[in-house]
Amino acid sequence: MKKVFLSFVFALLSVAGFAQGSWTIDPMHSSVNFTIKHMGISFVQGRFDKFSGTVTTKGANLENAAFDIAVEAETINTGVEMRDKHLKSDDFFGAGKYPSILLEGTSVVKDKNGPYMLKAKLTIKDVQKEIAIPVTFGGITKNKNGKEVMGLQGKFTINRLDYNIKYDPTGTGVAKDVDINVYLELVKQ
Question: Rounded to two decimals, what is the model's pTM?
Answer: 0.86
Is there a domain that residue 75 lies in?
Answer: yes
- Cα-trace Rg, the chain: 19
User: Which CATH number is 104's domain given?
Assistant: 2.40.128.110
How many structural domains are present in the chain? 1
Rounded distance between C-alpha atoms, residue 170 and residue 166, angstroms: 9
Does a structural domain hold residue 162?
yes
Residue 8 lies in a domain: no
- Does 1 reside within a domain? no
Residue 13 falls inside a structural domain = no
Return per-residue pLDDT of the chain as tens, 189 residues.
554 443 433 334 334 444 579 999 999 999 999 999 999 999 999 999 999 999 999 877 788 899 999 999 999 999 999 999 999 999 999 999 999 999 999 899 997 877 899 999 999 999 999 999 999 999 999 999 999 999 999 999 999 999 999 999 999 999 999 999 999 999 999
d(CA 182, CA 101): 13
DSSP annotation of 17 reads H
CA dist., res. 5 & res. 189, Å (int) = 31
Range of the domain at 75: 20-188
Q: Alpha-carbon distance 5 to 52, whole Å?
A: 42
In a domain, 182, yes or no: yes
The most distant pair of C-alpha atoms in the chain lies apart, rounded to whole Å, by 71
| Alpha carbons 132 and 117: distance in angstroms, whole number | 6
In a domain, 114, yes or no: yes
Nearest residue to 150 via CA among 162, 159, 160, 137:
137
Residue 5: inside a domain, yes or no?
A: no
